[in-house]
């Protein structure tokens, strides 16, 4: 049989093979065979195909012959010789979907535990799990809002973000309680090539504080204050600070359903200051409050990995105020969260797709 095999690819086959070669989801071996055939059809020699695909010369010749003899179907995997499967994959799947028996004292299956229960190898169980997309070790959580005014509150808050009232300022206010000023027991080992930053698990806590923050939705500007507690008294003080920061302006403030926000003293103060209106997120829906974005940013970028030696801070409040990047007297922009809001109230209520791509 001659070593040189001429390959002619019809236009229809070329389209199919090109889609295989480009596809990120097709099996790597099938994509590689498609590239071999396409290169051969374009006139590339065997040595050139070997250089460009990284396979051996016998492999290139074998797939050229298979395509020349059988067409596209010849590039598919053929049944492999050997003993056929004797394991019922469906039985493995069904056993996985059932909780482990109480005698095992576990909440979910591992591949070795299920393999011992079924008399199989853990490699076989793991293979079935991969084929069926089963991941017993993973668990996700969900939360339903039981607020009877869910839709009205979602439309109210989303409407403020998308279409704020004329000549009014929309603010998102919340508290971040129990923020700790931690000093690591040993110096933090810095980042090095090939080695991440490292810190000791041991620390000294120099106290806690509560960060109050008001995020201006239109600009990302943050007004903040720190108090040792987060009662209605502190919330009232912070509201007065916010009102002073925005004099003679109509303020629409988004808050969650924390009890201090609805205290009679707070309501009485709001009645005396009608230019300030509170808008409440639904029960179990505080994620609608955009100041949570700001809290997430400073937690990830400054607080969680920070170390606060006592010699460098006068109090946890001073440490966190400097972290927030704002003061009541001169509220300057801190880490700016994305303030472009585009989801309508109807889309907010749609279930999220599991596809996050």
Q: Which of 16, 41, 50, 43 is nearest to 30 (CA)?
A: 16
111/171 same-domain check: no
Residue 84 lies in a domain: no
pLDDT given at position 291: 93
* Sheet strand arrangement including 168-184: 222-227, 203-216, 168-184, 250-255, 276-280
Residue 313 has pLDDT above 80, yes or no: no
176/305 same-domain check: yes
Mean pLDDT to the nearest integer, 217-224: 92
Higher pLDDT, 180 or 314: 180
282/318 same-domain check: yes
- Using alpha carbons only, what angle is made at residue 299 by residues 321 and 198, rounded to the nearest 5 degrees? 110
Domain count, the chain: 3
CA 210 to chain centre: 26
Residue 216 has pLDDT above 50, yes or no: yes
Mean pLDDT to the nearest integer, 208-229: 92
20/155 same-domain check: no
Residue 332 has pLDDT above 50, yes or no: no
108/183 same-domain check: no
pLDDT given at position 82: 72
Give the residue carrying structure tokens 């079935």.
128
Higher pLDDT, 107 or 306: 107
Residue 163 lies in a domain: yes
pLDDT given at position 105: 94
Q: Which of 229, 294, 286 is nearest to 260 (CA)?
A: 229
pLDDT given at position 35: 92
CA distance 307 to 320: 12
pLDDT tens for 239-273 read 999 999 999 899 999 999 999 999 999 999 999 99
276/203 same-domain check: yes
Residue 150 has pLDDT above 70, yes or no: yes
Residue 328 lies in a domain: yes
179/105 same-domain check: no
pLDDT given at position 206: 82
Letter string b/e over residues 269-294, b meaning 16 or more CB atoms within 10 A of that residue's CB: bbeeeeebebbbbbbebbebbbbbbb
Mean pLDDT to the nearest integer, 302-319: 65
pLDDT tens for 2-50 read 556 778 888 898 899 999 988 888 888 889 999 999 998 888 888 998 9
State the CB neighbour count (10 A cutoff) for residue 14: 15
231/334 same-domain check: yes
Residue 356 lies in a domain: no
Q: pLDDT-based confidence at 337, cuts 50/70/90? A: very low
41/120 same-domain check: no
pLDDT tens for 221-237 read 999 999 998 899 999 99
- Using alpha carbons only, what angle is made at residue 305 by residues 331 and 298, rounded to the nearest 5 degrees? 25
157/259 same-domain check: yes
Q: Which two tokens stand for residue 60?
A: 């290139």
Residue 350 has pLDDT above 70, yes or no: no
Report CA torsion sign: 230, 232, 238, 242. positive
Residue 340 has pLDDT above 80, yes or no: no
Higher pLDDT, 131 or 77: 131
Q: Which of 2-6, 28-32, 296-300, 332-336 has the lowest mean pLDDT?
A: 332-336
Grouping H, G, I as helix, E, B as strand and the rest as coil, residue 319 is helix
Q: Which of 173, 142, 175 is nearest to 278 (CA)?
A: 173
CA distance 85 to 218: 63
Residue 278 lies in a domain: yes
169/310 same-domain check: yes
Q: pLDDT-based confidence at 77, cuts 50/70/90? A: confident
Residue 297 lies in a domain: yes
Q: pLDDT-based confidence at 184, cuts 50/70/90? A: confident
Q: Which two tokens stand for residue 96?
A: 């996985």
* CATH code, domain carrying 316: 3.30.420.10
**Alpha-helix runs per DSSP H in 71-190:** 89-97, 111-118, 122-132, 150-162
State the CB neighbour count (10 A cutoff) for residue 79: 6
CA distance 124 to 86: 11
User: Does pTM top 0.75 for this prediction?
Assistant: no
Residue 282 has pLDDT above 70, yes or no: yes
Average pLDDT, whole number, for the chain? 84
Residue 357 has pLDDT above 50, yes or no: no
Residue 30 lies in a domain: yes
Residues spanned by the domain of 166: 150-191+199-348
71/181 same-domain check: no
Grouping H, G, I as helix, E, B as strand and the rest as coil, residue 34 is helix
pLDDT tens for 81-114 read 776 666 788 999 999 999 999 999 999 999 999 9
Give 311's Cβ-side CA count (13 Å radius).
0
Are 332 and 326 in contact by the 8 Å Cβ rule? The answer is: yes
Residue 6 lies in a domain: no
Q: Which of 235, 224, 220, 209 is nearest to 330 (CA)?
A: 224
């Amino acid at each position: 049989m001659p070593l040189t095999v001429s390959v002619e690819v019809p236009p229809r086959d070329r389209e199919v093979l090109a889609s295989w070669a480009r596809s990120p989801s097709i099996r790597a071996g099938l994509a590689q065979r498609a590239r071999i055939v396409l290169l051969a059809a374009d006139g590339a020699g065997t040595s050139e195909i070997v250089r460009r695909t990284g396979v051996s010369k016998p492999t290139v010749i074998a797939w050229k012959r298979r395509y020349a003899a059988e067409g596209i179907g010849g590039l598919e995997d053929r049944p492999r010789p050997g003993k056929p499967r004797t394991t019922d994959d469906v039985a493995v799947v069904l056993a996985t979907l059932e909780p482990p028996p109480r005698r095992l004292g576990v909440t979910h299956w591992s591949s070795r535990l299920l393999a011992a229960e079924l008399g199989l190898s853990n490699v076989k169980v793991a293979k079935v799990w991969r084929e069926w997309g089963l991941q017993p070790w993973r668990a996700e959580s969900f939360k339903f809002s039981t607020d009877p005014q869910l839709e009205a509150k979602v439309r109210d808050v989303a409407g403020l973000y998308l279409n704020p009232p004329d000549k009014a300022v929309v603010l998102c206010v919340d508290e971040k309680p129990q923020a700790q000023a931690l000093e690591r027991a040993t110096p933090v080992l810095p980042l090095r090539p090939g080695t991440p930053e490292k810190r000791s698990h041991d620390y000294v806590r120099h106290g806690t504080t509560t960060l109050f923050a008001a995020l201006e939705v239109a600009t990302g500007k943050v007004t903040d204050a720190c108090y040792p507690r987060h009662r209605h008294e502190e919330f009232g003080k912070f509201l007065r600070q916010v009102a002073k920061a925005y004099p003679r302006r109509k303020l629409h403030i988004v808050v969650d359903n924390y009890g201090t926000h609805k205290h009679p003293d707070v309501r009485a103060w709001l009645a005396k200051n009608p230019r300030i209106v509170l808008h409440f997120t639904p029960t179990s829906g505080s994620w609608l409050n955009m100041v949570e974005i700001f809290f997430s940013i400073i937690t990830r970028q400054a607080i969680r990995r920070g170390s606060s030696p006592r010699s460098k801070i006068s109090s946890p409040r001073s440490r966190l105020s400097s972290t927030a990047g704002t003061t009541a007297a001169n509220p300057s922009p801190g880490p700016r969260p994305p303030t472009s809001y585009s989801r309508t109230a109807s889309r907010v209520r749609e279930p999220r797709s599991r596809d996050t791509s």
